[in-house]
């Protein structure tokens, strides 16, 4: 309560000083004409706090927690508005003041490996053969979709990919060229295809209805790897798509526009 009161007093003081600096609003005009009236208008704007993700070995894969208190900031703006009756003549910003700085939210994301028998992502060890190197660029694995869930915090946990809603049996294609290092059912992933692109990147395609590739198969960018489904832990027909760099999930939207 004391902080809120202090914030209000600060904003009031800022506006008062600004108005005194710019002078008193005035009206002017020739005889018989509607005068032009000037007045100062104060507005307050919320400044959204940023979210910082930090990896930690203190948490297992798939878990996350809030590390620091966060808050949005507050910015005050004074605008000189000139009107002629009901008509706006001019509006010019005369000053802005950051009344309260935003504090970023820090989220710890676990990267500690679970014991092998508890992990859902250890399936890459099933393939030990040569790997086809990709192009280094990625394409969307679906031609038509609705974005349902982004990379980041979700329902108290952490979502390591993006969920793309699409009809059952819609074609899913390889985001880049590479070698299939997993093609089978895998716990909550359902039917899952993992492609190793030979450059440190892997891509994951899960909840598939059917598989169109097999273990060890080389694929080219844009080649069909499966059909959209809802196998595993899925509440609707969609594709859960991940990009991993050196086995660590990265934000898909850093590579693809969704």
Q: How far is CA 255 from the centre of its chain?
A: 12
CATH code assigned to 2-107: 2.20.230.10
Residue 83 confidence (pLDDT): 87
The answer to whether the 2-107 and 120-254 domains have the same CATH topology is no
Q: Within the chain, which residues score under 70 in pLDDT?
A: 1-34, 61-63, 111, 113-126
pLDDT for the residue numbered 109: 78
pLDDT at 69: 74
Q: Select the CATH number that applies to the domain covering 120-254 from these four: 3.90.550.10, 2.70.70.10, 3.40.50.2020, 2.30.30.180.
A: 2.70.70.10
Which pair of tokens denotes residue 163? 């969920």
Q: What is the pLDDT of residue 120?
A: 46
Q: Phi/psi at 105 (nearest 5 deg)? A: -95, 125
DSSP string, 74-114: EEEEEEEEEEETTEEEEEEEEEEEEEE--B-EEEEEEEEPP
Contacts of 139 (CB under 8 A, 6+ apart): 173, 175, 176, 221, 222, 256
* Residue-range domain boundaries for the chain: 2-107, 120-254
Report yes or no on whether pTM surpasses 0.75. no
């Amino acid at each position: 309560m004391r902080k809120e009161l202090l914030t209000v007093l600060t904003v009031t003081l800022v506006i008062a000083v600004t108005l005194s600096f710019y002078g008193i609003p005035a009206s002017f005009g020739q005889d018989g004409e509607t005068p032009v009236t000037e007045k100062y208008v104060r507005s307050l704007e919320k400044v959204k706090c940023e979210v910082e993700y930090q990896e930690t070995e203190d948490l297992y894969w798939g878990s996350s927690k809030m590390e620091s208190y966060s808050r949005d900031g507050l910015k005050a703006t004074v605008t000189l508005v000139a009107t002629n009756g009901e008509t706006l003549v001019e509006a010019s910003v005369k000053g802005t003041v950051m009344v309260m700085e935003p504090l970023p939210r820090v989220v710890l994301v676990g990267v500690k490996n679970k014991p092998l028998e508890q992990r859902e992502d250890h399936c890459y060890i099933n393939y030990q053969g040569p790997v086809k190197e990709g192009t280094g660029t990625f394409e969307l694995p679906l031609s038509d979709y609705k974005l349902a869930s982004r990379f980041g915090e979700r329902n108290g946990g952490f979502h390591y990919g993006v969920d793309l809603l699409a009809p059952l049996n819609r074609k899913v294609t390889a985001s880049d060229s590479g070698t299939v290092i997993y093609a089978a059912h895998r716990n909550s992933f359902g039917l899952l295809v993992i492609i190793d692109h030979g450059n440190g990147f892997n891509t994951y395609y899960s909840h598939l209805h059917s598989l169109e590739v097999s273990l060890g198969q080389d694929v080219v960018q844009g080649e069909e790897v499966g059909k959209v489904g809802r196998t595993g832990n899925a509440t609707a027909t969609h594709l859960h798509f991940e990009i991993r760099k050196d086995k660590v999930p990265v934000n898909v939207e850093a590579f693809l526009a969704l």
